[in-house]
Amino acid sequence: MDERAYYSESQTTKPAMLNCPYCKSQESYELRWMVRKKKDRLPGGADERDRAKFAKAQSYMVLVDDKVACKNLRCRKQFDVSDVKTIAFI
């Protein structure tokens, strides 16, 4: 069984303070996250192994955006999203 079957997926956005490496301005950016929320119960067709894995599974979110465009109008350069953890357990 695909581990994705353990979770219901949705998307959310969360603000993060990021520093542009080019102009050094700090702004808040809405980053998109994929939320994988553990289901209350396993879907049908699960075997022993699925049950064991499901018991250990945890809800988590994965960062979708890896780049943002600088909000400084005189800069507007794209830069990598660093300093943000790309996976968070919820």
Q: Out of 8, 13, 15, 22, point to the residue binding Zn ion (CB under 5 A).
A: 22
Q: Which residue bears the tokens 């780049």?
A: 67
Q: Binding of Zn ion at residue 72 (CB under 5 A)?
A: yes
Strands, E, within the chain: which ranges? 7-19, 26-38, 60-63, 67-69, 78-80, 87-89
Please say which residue, 38 or 71, places its beta carbon nearer to Zn ion: 71
CB of 77 to Zn ion, least distance (A): 5
**Two tokens at 82?**
């660093």
Binding site for Zn ion (CB under 5 A): 20, 22-23, 70, 72, 75
